[in-house]
Every structure is written in C-alpha cells, then in structure tokens.
Amino acid sequence: MPEEATSVDAANGAAEGTSAAADGAASATTGGAADIIAQGGSGDVWYSIGSLIDKGGPIVAILLVLSVISAAIILLKIVQFWTSGLSRRGFVDPAVDKIERGDLGGSLEILKKHKTPLARAMASGVRAKMRGDLRDEDVAAEIQRVGTMELGSLQRYLRWLEVIGNISPLLGLLGTVIGMINAFQSLEAAGTQVDPALLSGGIWVALLTTAVGLIVALPAITALNLLEGKVDQVRLSMRDGSSRVIAALHARPGSSQSRAAQ
C-alpha cells in the first residue's frame, strides 16, 4: 500500500538521521544531560544537543539551561571552598595562646595571615577587644556578626541548586505528560490505520524529558548536600573559635576576671 511504503521510507530516513547524530555526538564530549541520553537497540546512540532539543522540545531546552547553571554554580562553590581553606585550623591554638598571655596584637597578626572565614571571625573579636574594654557579650556579638556574614558568603547560590534539584524532575514529568498527550493525539488522528511504531516512538520521546530532568537534578541535589555539610562544619568551627576567644580573654593577665580570681 502507498501509505505503508511511505511509512517504511520515513522510518528508514529516521534511522539514517539517528545514525548521523550518533556519529557527531561520539566525536565530541559535551557536558550535561546531552551526553548521557541514549537509545537502546543494536547499540547505544548518543544524541547531540541539537537532536536532543529537537526530540524533547522546549522542556529539554529549559532543562539543559538549568544543567549549565547548576554546573557553573557547583564549579564556583568548589573553587570558593578550596581557596577559602575551610579545613585549616592550625592557627587557632597559637592565636588563643597569645590572647591568654595578654598579647592581643600578636594574636591578631597570626589571624591576619590566614584568609579563612574562621580566622576572620576570630580576628574581629580580637579587634573589638583592642578598641576598648568591651564586655564579653559585645565581643561575642561581633564575632557572631562577622561569622554570619562569612557563612552567608559560603551559602550564596546554594539556594539555586536546591531550586534546580527540585524543579528539574517536575519539568521532566511535565514534558512526559505533554509528549504522551501528543502521542495519543497522533494515534487518534491515524484512525483505523494504527501503526504501533507511531505509539512506541511517541512514548520514548515523551519519556526522554523525564530522563533529562532526573539527570539534571541528581548532581544538583548531591552537590547541595555535600556543600551544605561543609558549611555546617564551618559553623561549628566558628562557634568553637568564638568560645575559645572569650575564654582566653577571661584568662589573660590584667582582665577583670583574672584579677578577681587572684
């Protein structure tokens, strides 16, 4: 029948187009979801970004944009955390010892050599004490103020990862629902001349958006939890550093608490 011959020719043309897209994608590695979407069969066929958008429509295009934003934020935070030296704590004991001996200037010099959030928070307390005979509550409040600002800098853009991780699967599901609706509409339009390939092709194209959504969400959520865990460690370190600075100020020679104990 002419319709069947046309359907076969179209299927052959689609298969040739798929092979060409696979060859182009195999020669260049591209980040994001486009690299890991494959079609099962005689072999894994890796789609280029253009083919992926053509198959998945605007939903996939939005997800790819979110994938790029997520990757950029993750790289930015990794560089920020690495250069901030969040794990360095070797300066804490020498700085506290200087404070206990009454050498606030020496303690401040030690802390100024280290460009970490913890060092800057502790240094703010030492500076506050050097500016005048402030109460311990005022020194602790200054350390908390600076520490809050430092933590805010570390947490910047993490909310975006949370948003991307939450909405990407929902966008993928939305694309799947829309694709299923289109597939069944095409099936209805075919009438009695139903081609099973038409339905199966529409279904896998529809499921493509869900797969892309999950692929975008998984790295974002994983990175978010790891980065937030590191921020929590810094928060605990700042609380410990603040307590040690206040205790050292109590014990330093000339302090009112030290004179009272004598």
The pLDDT tens digits for 215-247 are 999 999 999 999 999 999 999 999 998 888 888
Q: Which segment of 38-42, 238-242, 251-255 scores lowest on mean pLDDT?
A: 38-42
| pLDDT at residue 90 is higher than 50 | yes
Give me the pLDDT at residue 137, please.
82
Cα Dmax for the chain:
108
Q: Which segment of 85-89, 167-171, 221-225, 257-261 scores lowest on mean pLDDT?
A: 257-261
How far is Cα 94 from Cα 7, in angstroms, rounded to an integer? 80
Q: Which segment of 89-98, 203-212, 220-229 scores lowest on mean pLDDT?
A: 203-212
Task: State how beta strands 38-39 and 45-46 pair.
Answer: antiparallel
Rounded mean pLDDT, 178-200: 71
For the whole model, what pTM was predicted? 0.71
| pLDDT at residue 192 is higher than 90 | no
**Residues 9-22: tens digit of each pLDDT:** 433 443 343 343 33
Give me the pLDDT at residue 170, please.
94
Instruction: Give the side-chain half-sphere CA count within 13 A for 148.
Output: 6
**Residues 52-74: tens digit of each pLDDT:** 667 777 888 899 999 999 999 99
| pLDDT at residue 110 is higher than 70 | yes
Rounded mean pLDDT, 191-196: 66
DSSP letter string, 207-230: HHHHHHHHHHHHHHHHHHHHHHHH
Six-digit token string for 69: 């934003």
| pLDDT at residue 167 is higher than 70 | yes
Give me the pLDDT at residue 135, please.
81
What is the CA angle 79-85-88, rounded to 5? 160
**Residues 139-158: tens digit of each pLDDT:** 888 899 999 999 999 999 99
